[in-house]
Amino acid sequence: WPNWGYTLPEFIRTLNAWKADKEPGQQHLYTHAGFILLALALERRFGLPIDELMEQRLLRPLGMVSTTLPRRDDSPRGRLSAELASSAVQGYADDSRPVGEPGDQQGYYHWPGTSQMYASPRDMAIFLAANLGELAIDRSLWEAIKLAQQTVATIGPRNRQALAWEVIVGNAPTIVEKYGGLDNASAYIGMMPSRQFGIVILGNRGNQYPHEVGRRILLELAAR
């Protein structure tokens, strides 16, 4: 799950009722719900909406001026500002069918702060550089970035789970990466910290697999 849309009360009821059918450590299951649960925990801890927390603690310090989690308003999820909406590209399904209007908000959850983030290639390059330690940033932010890359669980023989990042280990240099997408967009960010390079792929078509291309590029660069 989820296989349908949730309001906040429905989401909390589902979490309270959910029970795993495997013992911890026996099976790896991915769900968007993990990110939503983390956002709720942060909101309650700091008393601020998740978009404001991200703006204060990450986006503004890094100068990521074109990245946003749409603000709270009278819509179920929030809307892009007029300025950012004018720069948003049209999203497409995997069958080339347009999905909504440019800047449309997709997602399983129906309250603000739960849908797609929007960013520019420039901003994602900044984020990549920050994760590779190439920017002069506040020490506390750098410590948080390093903490997020540390593995906390084993997924498989070559795969480890960090805090959102997934880590691939083996004969080649370690890859730290994250793939994401919905029905109207697909994205990938990956890096080889030991080689100090990485790649960002942003696509406006849903249900694609840019991580496969991104990994090949990283491995070919590492082999040179």
The string of DSSP letters for 46-80 reads HTS-HHHHHIIIIIHHHT-TT-B-PBPSSSSS-B-
**pLDDT value for 47:** 96
pLDDT recorded at residue 53: 94
| Count of CB atoms situated within 10 Å of the CB of 67 | 21
Q: What is the pLDDT of residue 18?
A: 87
Tell whether the model's pLDDT for residue 116 goes beyond 70. Answer: yes
Band (pLDDT 50/70/90 cuts) for residue 3 is: low
Instruction: State pTM to two decimals.
Output: 0.90
The per-residue pLDDT of the chain, averaged, comes to 90
C-alpha span between 15 and 12 (Å, rounded): 5
Mean local confidence (pLDDT), 87-101:
92
Most confident range (mean pLDDT) of 74-88, 110-124, 208-222 is 208-222
Please report the DSSP string for 118-134 in residue order. B--HHHHHHHHHHHTT-
pLDDT in tens, 95-110: 999 998 888 888 888 8
What pLDDT score was predicted for residue 1? Answer: 55
Q: What percent of the chain has pLDDT over 70?
A: 96
Chain Cα centroid distance, residue 66: 15
- 36-63 mean pLDDT: 95
Q: Could you tell me which of 189, 182, 212, 176 has the C-alpha nearest to residue 124?
A: 189
DSSP one-letter code for 136: -
